[in-house]
Structure 1
């Protein structure tokens, strides 16, 4: 599988679409991380199942339109994601709708989660881009780059998020269990990424390449 160049107009459209996708997943994950679950006796959150989508999108971005464009997506997504994540998390704090009036009072607990997500997203995604780009240049096998970037990127993302959001938190449950939840969260995200999203990456990449080749062939005939 090789990198495919896209037209400037198409590239701009894909970048805008990816930014919107990143913001959407961050918002969803910030909401879902407030909902704890028990898995085989271990504490985790529903956010562990949503956030790996971002790594899939980032890896496809690096492969298809390059490392610099992937970084542009991250830079464009981080501030809108921080703002909208705070608003959504306040409105739906602890999984229930609290009404628009909840926005009148600044919620430090929710803002801490939103800021932790912001910091973790930037750190984890930039590391993911760097590891993925280096691995794809050094190895022929298509799956090595997304697998390696998931291992390292999600480790940094998880550690940054839970330590910033919940260390000495005002939430007694999260303050006591954040370390355990972080480890379980990382294991779940890594398992989901390696067993589901890496194969999805391969399928999606093949589909994108075939579609681009067909478009190029039609353009050449026209």
Structure 2
């Protein structure tokens, strides 16, 4: 797959769109991670199914626009995501709306989850960008870079999030089971990424590449 050119104005638009998308997924994941589920007798959370979307978006950003721009998305998304995640998590703690009055009192349990998400997001995404960029430069096969970055990036993300959020947590269930939940969460995220999001990456990249090349051809024709 050959590189595509992106104008400065379009690159700026794409970056703003990606920042909003990252923030939205982080907020959703922070909410969903509070909702436990049992899968084949193992404890996990619904957040395992939402967060891989960020890795898909980041990999496409690196591939289409560049590593520097992908890092810019992470840098500009992390603080708004931390603040928004805390607010949403307080309002909908344990999956139910608790009223605006809850914002008047600091919730250390929810803030710990939001901060853990912040730390895990930054660490996991920066590693994902580095691994993806290295793999795409060294290997011709399109699938190696997103697969490798998913394996290592999501491993760091998962360990960082669950250890910071739930080690010796005030929530007895999460304090007792966070290690098991983290392992199952990683397996689920990795399976979803490799079986669904890596193929989606290939399809999306091909589609975006065709659209951009068609646009460039039209612009070139108009210029003539």
**Partners in 2 of 1:21 and 1:3 — Cα distance?**
23
Structure 1, gaps ≥5 residues long? none
Root-mean-square deviation over aligned CA pairs: 0.3
SS at match of 1:61: helix
What aligned pairs does 1:110-149 form with structure 2 within 5 A after superposition?
110-149=110-149
Check if 1:81 corresponds to 2:84: no
Check if 1:161 corresponds to 2:168: no
What displacement does 1:36 show?
0.1
Check if 1:60 corresponds to 2:60: yes
**Partners in 2 of 1:147 and 1:2 — Cα distance?**
19
Other-structure match for 2:38: 38
**Partners in 1 of 2:3 and 2:58 — Cα distance?**
14
SS at match of 1:106: coil
**Partners in 1 of 2:137 and 2:2 — Cα distance?**
10
Residue deviations 1:23-44, cap 9 Å, x none?
A: 0000000000000000000000
What displacement does 1:5 show?
1.9
**Partners in 2 of 1:75 and 1:93 — Cα distance?**
27
Other-structure match for 2:29: 29
Check if 1:19 corresponds to 2:31: no
Check if 1:7 corresponds to 2:7: yes
**Partners in 2 of 1:4 and 1:120 — Cα distance?**
31
SS at match of 2:37: strand
What displacement does 1:2 show?
1.9
What displacement does 1:214 show?
0.3
- Aligned residue pairs total 222
What displacement does 1:4 show?
1.3
